[in-house]
Amino acid sequence: MAYSEKVIDHYSNPKNVGTLDKSKTNVGTGLVGAPECGDVMRLQIEVDDTTGIIKDAKFKTFGCGSAIASSSLATEWLKGKTVDQALEIDNMDIVEELHLPPVKIHCSVLAEDAIKAAISDYRTKNGLAAI
């Protein structure tokens, strides 16, 4: 199976690899997947307290090229969005953008889960209900 150029690009030059300080109240961390399943994504967002806009996003992923590309793309899309806008990111958007084949759709699902988990963590830290 050949990878799409976009997957190869994100894999070769991943955007926003790194770690944010998870002890900060304006940082939300989502850790999804499982080592036994062959993919684990950790996605973090840092929210501007005054504007509610995601000013930074970072990821680290253990997984195949499509999983790495999905999380890299997710961090790119998150930056500049409000938390509510970020919730609208659908896994099928990722599938379309990266031209993921059917066997790799679960990578996009995992990225969407990671976004939701990071937002949930941010919300609970700030006295809001988890999503």
Partner 1 sequence: MRKDTVNKMELKLPIYLDNNATTPMDPRVLEAMLPYFVEKFGNAASRNHPFGWVAEEAVDYAREQIANLINADPKEIIITSGATEADNLAIKGIYEMYAEKGNHIITCVTEHKAVLDTCKHIEKLGGKVTYLPVQADGLVDLHLLESSITDKTILIAIMYGNNEIGVIQPVKQISEIAHKHGVLFFTDATQAVGKIPVDVIKDGIDLMAFSAHKMYGPKGVGALYVRRKNPRVKVTAQMDGGGHERGMRSGTLNVPGIVGFGKACELCAQEMEADTVRLSAMRDKLQNALMELEESYVNGNTEHRLPHTCNISFKYVEGEGLMMGFNKNIAVSSGSACTSASLEPSYVLKALGLGDDLAHSSLRFGLGRFTTPEQIDYTISAVKTTVTKLREMSPLWEMFKEGVDIDAIEWAHH
Instruction: Catalogue the active-site residues.
Output: 37, 107
**By C-beta, is 17 or 87 nearer to partner 1?**
17
Query: Tokens at residue 71, please?
Result: 């999380």
The CA distance from 110 to 70, in Å, is: 8
Q: Other CB atoms closer than 10 Å to residue 62's CB: what's the count?
A: 14
In angstroms, give the least distance from the CB of 128 to partner 1. Answer: 22
Per-residue CA distances from 96 to 6, 8, 33, 54 (Å): 11, 15, 22, 23
- Establish how many alpha carbons lie within 13 A of residue 8's alpha carbon, considering only the half-sphere containing its beta carbon: 5
**Rg value, the chain, Cα:** 14
**By C-beta, is 53 or 113 nearer to partner 1?**
113
In angstroms, give the least distance from the CB of 78 to partner 1. Answer: 17
Q: Applying CB under 8 A, which residues contact partner 1?
A: 3, 8, 11, 14, 17, 19, 31-42, 60-65, 67-68, 103, 106, 109-110
Query: Tokens at residue 8, please?
Result: 């190869």
In angstroms, give the least distance from the CB of 131 to partner 1. Answer: 15
**By C-beta, is 34 or 129 nearer to partner 1?**
34
